[in-house]
Amino acid sequence: MDLPVERWEAYARRKWASLEPCLQQQLSLAVPLGDTFLLCLPLLQPADEEFLHRLAAPNWVGKDPRAALFYKEEGNKRFQKKEYTAALMLYSKAVSHNSPEMSLCYANRSAALFHLGHFEDCLEDIDRAQAKGYPNRLQPKILLRKTECLLLLGRLQEAAGVISKVESKIAMDQSLTSTTRQILLRKISQLKVKAHEKESSPVSVLEALSKTQKDLEFWEENGKISSAFSSVSLNFNSCRGRHLVATKDILPGENLVKEEAFVSVLSPGKSLLLQDSAETTWDTRVTNGDLHCHRCLKQLLASVPCGGCSYAKYCSKKCAQLAWEHYHSTECPLGALLLTLGVFSHVALRTVLVAGFAEVSSLVKQFHEDDKELHKAEARGKSRDETRDSTAGMEGLSEKAEPLIPGCEDDGQYRGSYQAVFNLLTHAEKHSPEHKFLCSLSIVAICKKLREADLTILSQGSCESQSKLKAHMKMSAELSPELKILGEAMLRHMLQLHCNAQAVTAIRESESGDSIVADSEQVRLATALFPVTSLLNHSCDPNTSVTFRGTAVTVRASQPIPRGQEIVHCYDQAVELLMRCRVDAENFLSAEHMLVGEIEDHLAQGYATLGKWQEAARHLRCSIQIVEAHHGPSSVETGHELFKLAQILFNGFAVSEALCTIQRAETVLSVHCGPQNAQVQELQEMRACLLELPRSLLHRVE
C-alpha cells in the first residue's frame, strides 16, 4: 500500500473538487513545492483531522494484555498439534503486547524454536524468559532445554555448567514429586551421555569459515560513485539526465552496483486487527510485519518487539535500539496514522528523520537560494537551463572545468548521501494537481501530529533554546518554521518516490506440506530509496537484473553491455501489469494466458506429490513455455521455473534431461542472483549427486 487508503484518497478528491477555482489554479501553478505545502497547510481543518483519525482507528498499534493472552493460548493450541511454525508466529504476536505472563510467552516460543531447529534463537528466548521472571518451579525444565541447545551447538563447557545448576535446583526443590524428580534426573543422565559423545567428536568450524570466504567478493571500487563498481561511470545530458554508462565491455552476471538503502520501510500487508471484530478477537494472520525485521528486513524467528507499540518488531536488540535512536522514537506514536497514509508517506518521514534536521534545513535553504537565482535569470531573459549550466560551472575558473552534476558533492563524487536523495527528480510538473493535493494534505497531517510529539530531530542549540522551541510548538496552533521545512522536504520525497522508489522483493517458499518440489513466489517486502541505483534510467528492454538481500541491492548485467552503452533497468511494473490486463481482456484464457501457466504449475505440484514425475514434468514444461513467452527465456522468472523442473527430473531419476535442465537453470539464476544464491547451490548439489551415478545410468530417461 504505497499510497493512502482508498477512503482518504476519495476524501481528498472531494475536498479538491470543493475548492474555489482560483485556489485550485493557485495550487496547480505553484511550482516550488514549498509554496504548494504552505497553500495546503490551512486547508486541513479539524473536521478533516477527525475523519482521518477515524480511518486510522482500525490500524491501532498499541499494546493490549488481552491480546497477549489470546495469542499465547492460540499458540499453545498449534504447539499441541505440532504446528511449530504457526505456534512460533502466534507467540511472537503475544510478546509484542505487554502481559504479566511475558516470561511464559518467551519460554513457549523457545520450545517452538527448539523443535524447528533454531537453537541460537531458542537460547536467546530462554534468557529473555528468565529476565522477565520465569517461575522458579519451572526452571529445571527450561534449563534442560538450554543444556540440549548448548550441546547441539557444541558449546560443551557451558552445557556442563547448566547441568550442574539444574542438579542443584532439583536437589533443593522440595516441592517436586518423586516422579517428576526421576524424569528430570533421567533427562540429565541422557544429556550427560550426549555431552560425552560430543567431546569425542568436536564440532568443526571449517564449514563456517568456508561459507564466510565464499561470501567475500572482489570489489574494484569506483572512485567517483559510491557503491558502484569501476565498470560504470556517471554521465549527464539534457536528454537523458543523469545516467550510468559502461566504461568497458561487461559480461552477463557481472556486478555493477552494490548499495545499502538510504532508507527503507517494510510494507505492512494486511491490518493487524480484524475490522469489525469482537472485542476479544484478534487477527491471527501472518504478514510481512511478522516475518521480517522492521529495520534490516532480515527474516524473523524470535522477534524483539518495540517497547512502545505492538507493530514494530526487530531481529535483535541492536536493531531495535538503532531504529529507536534514528527514527522510531518519532514514528512510534504515529503508527496508526502512517499505516493509513501509506508507505510513501512513511518513507518520506523516515527520510528526513534519518538525514537529521540540520542536513534537511541546509539543503532546503540552498534550494530556495538557487531558485531565486533562476527567477532573476528568467527576468533577465535567460533560460533556466543556461543559468544552471553557468552556476554549475562556477566551481572552477579553468576552461576545462566541467559543470557539477546535480547530487554530487563539492569534490565531484556522487555518494549515497542525503544530498543525493534530495536531488532525485520529483517530476512535479507531471503529477496531476489532484495527486499533489493528496500528497500535500497527507504530509500536512503528519506535520500536525509531529507538532504534538517531543521531536529530538529539532534538538539543536542550548537546552534553554530547545525547551523554548518545544513550548512554542505545543502552545501554537501554527506549525513552527522548522516543521514547515520538514514538511516541504517530505512532500518533495513523497513525489520523488513515484519514479525513484525500489520495491524490495524476495523469493519466499510457501509451506509445501509433503511435496518434494518447492513452491515459491516473489513477494514485496519493502519500499526503499537507493540514491545510486536510482541513477539507472527506465527501459522496457533492460540490460540489468536487480536482487535484494535485506536492505542491500545488487545490480548485475543481465546481458552483454558494450563499452559506452547506457545501463538501464525496468522500473515500471505498473505498466507491465496494465499491458497484461489488456492482453487478458483481448485473449481470455488463450494457450499463453498466465492463468493457464499457474494452473499447469499447480498440476505439476500435485503430480509431484503423488510421485508421478513424468506427468509433473509434462505440466511444468507447459508452464515454462508460458513464462518464457511473457518474460523471456533468460528471465529470472524462467530461472525459478527451470529450478522446479530440475527438482522433478532429479526426483524422477530422468538423469540426462535433469543434467541439461540443471545447467540451464544454473546459468540463468547465476546471472540474476549470483553464484551464492541458495537455489544455485542446490542445483550444483543435484548435479554432483547425479554425476556420481554409474556411467550406464547417465543417459537414462524415465
Q: Where are the domains of the chain?
A: 65-197, 573-697
What pLDDT, on a 0 to 100 scale, did the predictor assign at position 347? Answer: 97
Architecture of the domain defined by 65-197: Alpha Horseshoe (1.25)
Distances (CA, A) of 380 to 394, 581, 672: 19, 51, 52
Whether residue 281 is predicted with pLDDT greater than 80 in this model: the reply is no
Between 697 and 663, the more confident residue is: 663
What pLDDT, on a 0 to 100 scale, did the predictor assign at position 169? Answer: 77
Percent of the chain surpassing pLDDT 90? 49
d(C-alpha 113, C-alpha 95), whole Å:
14
Between 155 and 438, the more confident residue is: 438
Whether residue 206 is predicted with pLDDT greater than 70 in this model: the reply is no
Whether residue 174 is predicted with pLDDT greater than 70 in this model: the reply is no
Instruction: Determine the distance from the C-alpha atom of residue 308 to the mean position of all C-alpha atoms in its chain, rounded to a whole number.
Output: 22
Between 21 and 463, the more confident residue is: 21
What pLDDT, on a 0 to 100 scale, did the predictor assign at position 28? Answer: 86
Whether residue 597 is predicted with pLDDT greater than 90 in this model: the reply is no
Percent of the chain surpassing pLDDT 70? 78
Q: CB–CB of 627/638 below 8 Å? A: yes
Q: What angle do CA 160, 165, 170 make, to 5 degrees?
A: 125
Instruction: Determine the distance from the C-alpha atom of residue 391 to the mean position of all C-alpha atoms in its chain, rounded to a whole number.
Output: 39
Q: How confident is the model at residue 53 (pLDDT cuts 50, 70, 90)?
A: very high
10 Å CB burial of residue 357 (0-12, 13-18, 19+) is buried
pLDDT digits (tens, 9 = 90+) for 386-425: 544 444 444 333 444 456 788 888 888 998 899 999 999 9
Following DSSP, what letter does each residue of 283-309 receive, concatenated? Answer: -----HHHHB-TTT-PBPSS-EE-SS-
> In the predicted model, what is the mean pLDDT of residues 64-85?
92
d(C-alpha 659, C-alpha 695), whole Å:
13
Looking at every residue in the chain, the average pLDDT score rounds to 82
For residue 241, give the H/E element and its range: strand 241-246
> In the predicted model, what is the mean pLDDT of residues 579-603?
65
Between 528 and 510, the more confident residue is: 528
Whether residue 458 is predicted with pLDDT greater than 70 in this model: the reply is no
What pLDDT, on a 0 to 100 scale, did the predictor assign at position 207? Answer: 44
> Scanning the structure block, which residue is given the C-alpha cell 563499452?
563
What pLDDT, on a 0 to 100 scale, did the predictor assign at position 350? Answer: 97
What pLDDT, on a 0 to 100 scale, did the predictor assign at position 52? Answer: 95
What pLDDT, on a 0 to 100 scale, did the predictor assign at position 123? Answer: 94
Q: How confident is the model at residue 598 (pLDDT cuts 50, 70, 90)?
A: confident
Q: How confident is the model at residue 81 (pLDDT cuts 50, 70, 90)?
A: very high
What pLDDT, on a 0 to 100 scale, did the predictor assign at position 648? Answer: 92
> In the predicted model, what is the mean pLDDT of residues 190-214?
51
For residue 393, the 8-state DSSP code is G
What pLDDT, on a 0 to 100 scale, did the predictor assign at position 293? Answer: 95
> In the predicted model, what is the mean pLDDT of residues 40-55?
94
> In the predicted model, what is the mean pLDDT of residues 238-243?
87
For the CA atoms of 391, 395, 400, 405, the dihedral, rounded to the nearest 10 degrees, stands at -70
Least confident residue range of 126-135, 263-272, 530-539, 679-688 = 263-272
Whether residue 589 is predicted with pLDDT greater than 90 in this model: the reply is no
For the CA atoms of 96, 98, 101, 103, the dihedral, rounded to the nearest 10 degrees, stands at 60
pLDDT digits (tens, 9 = 90+) for 251-277: 999 999 999 999 999 987 654 443 333
Least confident residue range of 242-251, 452-461, 531-540, 665-674 = 452-461
What pLDDT, on a 0 to 100 scale, did the predictor assign at position 126? Answer: 95
Do the domains 65-197 and 573-697 sit in the same CATH topology, yes or no? Answer: yes
pLDDT digits (tens, 9 = 90+) for 494-520: 999 988 999 998 877 665 444 555 566
Least confident residue range of 132-141, 387-396, 559-568, 622-631 = 387-396
What pLDDT, on a 0 to 100 scale, did the predictor assign at position 278? Answer: 41
> In the predicted model, what is the mean pLDDT of residues 26-51?
90
Q: What angle do CA 28, 30, 35 make, to 5 degrees?
A: 135
If you average pLDDT over each of 18-32, 322-336, 606-620, which comes out highest? 322-336
The upper half-sphere exposure of residue 508, i.e. CA atoms within 13 Å in the direction of its Cβ, equals 15
d(C-alpha 517, C-alpha 397), whole Å:
66
d(C-alpha 450, C-alpha 115), whole Å:
45
> In the predicted model, what is the mean pLDDT of residues 221-238?
89
Q: In the CATH scheme, what is the homologous superfamily, with its name and number, of domain 573-697?
A: Tetratricopeptide repeat domain (1.25.40.10)
> In the predicted model, what is the mean pLDDT of residues 118-122?
94
What pLDDT, on a 0 to 100 scale, did the predictor assign at position 515? Answer: 53
